[in-house]
Structure 1
Amino acid sequence: MSVTEFGKALSATETGIPGLVVWDLPVHGDSRGWFKENWQREKMTAAGLADFGPVQNNISFNDAVGTTRGIHAEPWDKWVSVATGRIFGAWVDLREGPTFGTVFTAELDPSRAIFVPRGVGNSYQTLEPDTAYTYLVNDHWSPDASYSFLNLADETAAIDWPIPLADVEISAKDLAHPRLADVVPIPPKKTLVVGANGQLGRALRAAYGEDESVEFAGRQELDLTGDLHAARRWRDYGTIVNAAAYTAVDAAETDRAGAWAGNVTAVAQLARIATENGITLVHVSSDYVFDGTATTPYTEGEPVAPLGVYGQTKAAADAIVATVPRHYIVRTSWVIGEGKNFVGTMASLAERGIAPSVVDDQIGRLTFTDDIAGGIRHLLTSAAPYGTYNLTGGGAPASWADIAAEVYELTGHDRTAVSGVSTEQYFANATGPVAPRPRWSVLDLGKIEATGYSPRDWRESLRDHLG
């Protein structure tokens, strides 16, 4: 019979399987018995344990020495701890990837626990009678989920069981599991891009190429105004990238209901889904959350002060997304991508020999959608700290008139054909609603550059865009 070790410090030990971590637990006791905090969120997350959001607590009791269970891999995370007795545990990585088939073994007693990540197969053999272990899981069993199994006697895994399998109690079902060569690996959690048919959505399609773990959904595939809870098995997703938005800046001034539905109500639904399922939510914001009265580049922490309805909806969405534990708010400006846009319009005017009057009192930087897509992918793959990041084109700021002149020159036309006018002059004869524009839209890029991503100079991107 083992004796539980008292007085350990809470500490973690990495294993050869990524994400599989053994934990020593403080156990307090005397001749009368013992007490431990089996799961203490504040202390354990502070010590580095993933805040994995358990939703169910299970207990497995085994009355005989040698009872053997497994090897089962489920699409959820587990926190496994012994309540009484002692077990030998064997864990095999059954996830797709380079560590598929890696084995780790260890003994657990009440002073040792283990965090088992999604897709790692787990099995246990009792070493003492009346052994009970508990496990917290962060999803409920579902017939639609992906499970995987490995035979306990697999020759490739070659687990050195303390008690030979021929001498122990094993279920017929566990004995029938496949060998490693026939195991179906657990796929990685999926990424869902919503708004996949817009300018940014198309750039994200190009950025992720043939990555089979990424799904793309346009308005027809996923209605963000409907009930999203039943739309997917959300626990299978690790990331949602929201590339959908109501972007009709001027129309928003009168179509307030449409702007709020598209930019706020839909985002609130995504935020709720992400929070409930431990999903990382990536949301694209706008320079329109500011009033444009600054004289230096806006940092991420600058107070918002939107001027019009569109800006108000974007600011409201930012506040909602900021409540999601795992979130990236990507704030950008003056977006140019595939389809109708300012650059294409100027190039067309140049080809037709038209000399346009263009606003010269709004200052910012162009941002091309492939740079936004690249920045989003960088934040996710580098596991940058969650929060808000400015992401625009780099280089010196310019006015819309300056940009138009660059387009004229790069397309082989006279840049002096472009003349500058004030915002008031430009919209003086407008027949429909006109939203107020921030005059200063320059965003500070220091925070995202510190993560290792440096957006290209917008002039370089403009040259590439124009071919």
Structure 2
Amino acid sequence: MTAAAPAGPKQLAVHTTPIPGLLVIDLPVHGDQRGWFKENWQRQKMVAAGLPDFGPVQNNISFNQAIGVTRGIHAEPWDKYISVATGRVFGAWVDLREGPTFGATYWHQITPDTAIFVPRGVGNAFQTLEAPAAYTYLVSDHWSEAAQSQYTFLNLADETAAIPWPIPLAEAELSAKDQAHPRLADVTPVPPRRTLVVGGGGQLGRALTTRWQGRADVDVVDRDRLDVADADCVAAFDFSPYAVIVNAAAYTAVDTAETPEGRRDAWAVNVTGARHLVEAARKARATLVHVSSDYVFDGSRESHDETEALSPLGVYGQTKAAGDQLVATWPDHYIVRTSWVIGEGTNFVRTMASLAERGIDPSVVDDQIGRLTFTRDLAAAIDHLLTARPELGVYNVTAGGEPLSWAAIAAEVFALTGHDRARVTPVPTAEYYAAQGKAEGDGTVAPRPRNSVLELTKIEATGFAVGDQWEALREYLQRG
């Protein structure tokens, strides 16, 4: 017998349960003497009501001819959205994910006016109460034999879960496989999805590696393992285990990017590479963290906030701006915009310290203004965003304090390393390059934004403490 529509249709609503992420959805069902109609899945309305935008890619139907058919308990490596097209079932769920709610249970009858959202790692089972029953479910990944090997199972009769089956299991119809599943004490919890750091060989990649060295759920790959500019390499890489992808890979040779070969390489890494990672994040339903640059602005304003329109001057800035635009097409993203990055390896601060030690008195530009960003602090900011989970979007991250010129920073490096700051000669950018027979925009030198100051109000509002650049510089030099 087919279940009739309820006397009065429910209003669309999403309800939480004791299992985190497991949601019950009330569905409006409209009917008369002819039958009924419902919107079983309506992305726009349901996401607005509180359902995750889980991106279903496959629809399955389990047809159950007899009352008492019982299936489960299966935890699958994807999210699923369950309802019934006809009939009535008793649904039961057990949290099999690693964590404090491992073993938590919930049960609910499902009729045509009810749906259930089941997150990855939560065990699902049902028993047919009214037949025939068409049990339908949307899933966020395509089924495959390889995916099936990642299932986690729990015995339907597990005493710890103690599910109150309306029809005793001894009287129900079960498969031999389902009867052989383990008890809860023998189940290996489903681990959380992992975090991937791309570009592990760079300054930020190394800082993130240090920051997360105690975590077993983080994988760091360098260009040898994952070249983001190489479509075949990206296609061969398995992104499915990852809930977070941090893109620390970038082409940063600002001046070389102005040359024909450099231009191609910059676009390949910063644009094509970003596109590849957006596609991977979309397929894996992963949060994408992408690192941007002050070079996406022309420097004509005293400071730049996250809402300012992009206005890059040179090729490097243009590729970073294009990469930002691509990343923004995937809603689940954080773009972390930074400036004047200092980390492990060759950089401006180490170069100035070396010149001071070797007795060389440099001329340094004094008409480019900004703040330093130390990769240790940048890694901390990324960690904060992924932990606190503020609103998605763009966040500026640099050190705090008074904005200064490169010349002022160089003088401070000299002083902090025990040398006379007066040995640094401030010069305008044009004069600095003219002394080398070069000029900005001549094909060998990239045009630089004169003002690279990034507003920090937004990141501070999330609870992240921005450190002073002088204190950070002093600590950096002391570490050697």
TM-score range, shorter chain: over 0.9
Provide closer, same or farther for how the CA distance between residues 229 and 198 of structure 1 changes in structure 2, counting only shifts above 3 A.
Answer: closer
Hey, what does 1:69 align to over in structure 2?
A: 71
- Measure the CA separation in 1 of the matches of 2:100 and 2:219: 23
Hey, what does 2:159 align to over in structure 1?
A: 155
Q: Structure 1 residue 136: deviation in Å?
A: 0.4
Hey, what does 2:474 align to over in structure 1?
A: 463
Hey, what does 2:290 align to over in structure 1?
A: 283
Hey, what does 2:352 align to over in structure 1?
A: 346
Q: Structure 1 residue 4: deviation in Å?
A: 4.0
Provide closer, same or farther for how the CA distance between residues 429 and 419 of structure 1 changes in structure 2, counting only shifts above 3 A.
Answer: closer
Hey, what does 2:339 align to over in structure 1?
A: 333
Hey, what does 2:374 align to over in structure 1?
A: 368
Q: Which runs of 5+ in 2 are unaligned?
A: 439-443
Return the letter of the residue paired with 2:76.
E
Say whether the 8 Å CA contact 1:4–1:109 is kept in structure 2: no
- Structure-1-length-normalised TM-score: 0.97
- Measure the CA separation in 1 of the matches of 2:242 and 2:70: 32
Q: Structure 1 residue 456: deviation in Å?
A: 1.0
- Measure the CA separation in 2 of the matches of 1:323 and 1:118: 25
**Residues 20-31 of structure 1: matches in 2 within 5 Å?**
20-31=22-33
Q: Structure 1 residue 118: deviation in Å?
A: 0.5
Hey, what does 1:177 align to over in structure 2?
A: 181
SS of aligned partner of 2:207: helix
Return the letter of the residue paired with 1:56.
Q
Return the letter of the residue paired with 1:353.
G
Say whether the 8 Å CA contact 1:228–1:269 is kept in structure 2: no
Say whether the 8 Å CA contact 1:288–1:307 is kept in structure 2: yes
Q: Structure 1 residue 292: deviation in Å?
A: 1.1
Q: Structure 1 residue 384: deviation in Å?
A: 1.8
Hey, what does 1:449 align to over in structure 2?
A: 460
- Measure the CA separation in 1 of the matches of 2:290 and 2:197: 11
Say whether the 8 Å CA contact 1:75–1:236 is kept in structure 2: no
Deviations 1:366-385 (A, max 9, x none): 00001111111111222222
- Measure the CA separation in 2 of the matches of 1:431 and 1:337: 30
| 1:438 has 2:475 as partner | no
SS of aligned partner of 2:288: strand
Deviations 1:396-451 (A, max 9, x none): 10111111121122222222222211111211233671111111000111111122
Hey, what does 1:260 align to over in structure 2?
A: 267
Hey, what does 1:250 align to over in structure 2?
A: 255
Hey, what does 2:220 align to over in structure 1?
A: 216
Deviations 1:183-231 (A, max 9, x none): 1222211211111011000001011123222111101111222224532
Q: Structure 1 residue 62: deviation in Å?
A: 1.1
SS of aligned partner of 1:128: strand
Hey, what does 1:52 align to over in structure 2?
A: 54
Hey, what does 1:355 align to over in structure 2?
A: 361
Q: Structure 1 residue 159: deviation in Å?
A: 1.3
Task: From 277, 291, 309, give the equivalent of 2:315.
Answer: 309
Hey, what does 1:104 align to over in structure 2?
A: 106
How many matched pairs? 466
SS of aligned partner of 2:196: strand
Task: From 200, 203, 214, give the equivalent of 1:199.
Answer: 203
- Measure the CA separation in 2 of the matches of 1:232 and 1:184: 26
Q: Structure 1 residue 336: deviation in Å?
A: 0.1
Q: Structure 1 residue 294: deviation in Å?
A: 1.1
Q: Structure 1 residue 43: deviation in Å?
A: 0.7
Q: CA RMSD in A?
A: 1.5
SS of aligned partner of 1:263: helix
Percent pairwise identity: 65
Hey, what does 1:383 align to over in structure 2?
A: 389
Q: Structure 1 residue 143: deviation in Å?
A: 2.9
Return the letter of the residue paired with 1:207.
R
Say whether the 8 Å CA contact 2:226–2:234 is kept in structure 1: no
Say whether the 8 Å CA contact 1:330–1:391 is kept in structure 2: yes
- Measure the CA separation in 2 of the matches of 1:143 and 1:237: 19
Q: Structure 1 residue 18: deviation in Å?
A: 0.6
Hey, what does 1:230 align to over in structure 2?
A: 235
Return the letter of the residue paired with 2:407.
A
Task: From 417, 420, 427, give the equivalent of 1:414.
Answer: 420
- Measure the CA separation in 2 of the matches of 1:334 and 1:225: 24
Say whether the 8 Å CA contact 1:222–1:231 is kept in structure 2: no
SS of aligned partner of 1:235: coil
- Measure the CA separation in 2 of the matches of 1:90 and 1:282: 36
- Measure the CA separation in 2 of the matches of 1:91 and 1:199: 45
Q: Structure 1 residue 258: deviation in Å?
A: 1.4
Return the letter of the residue paired with 1:167.
E
Q: Structure 1 residue 245: deviation in Å?
A: 0.7
SS of aligned partner of 1:271: helix
- Measure the CA separation in 1 of the matches of 2:389 and 2:301: 31
Return the letter of the residue paired with 2:67.
V
SS of aligned partner of 1:12: strand
Say whether the 8 Å CA contact 1:139–1:235 is kept in structure 2: no
- Measure the CA separation in 2 of the matches of 1:262 and 1:137: 33
Q: Which runs of 5+ in 1 are unaligned?
A: none
Say whether the 8 Å CA contact 1:66–1:126 is kept in structure 2: yes
SS of aligned partner of 2:236: coil
Range that drifts further, 144-153 or 109-118: 144-153
- Displaced runs of 4 or more, over 6 A: none
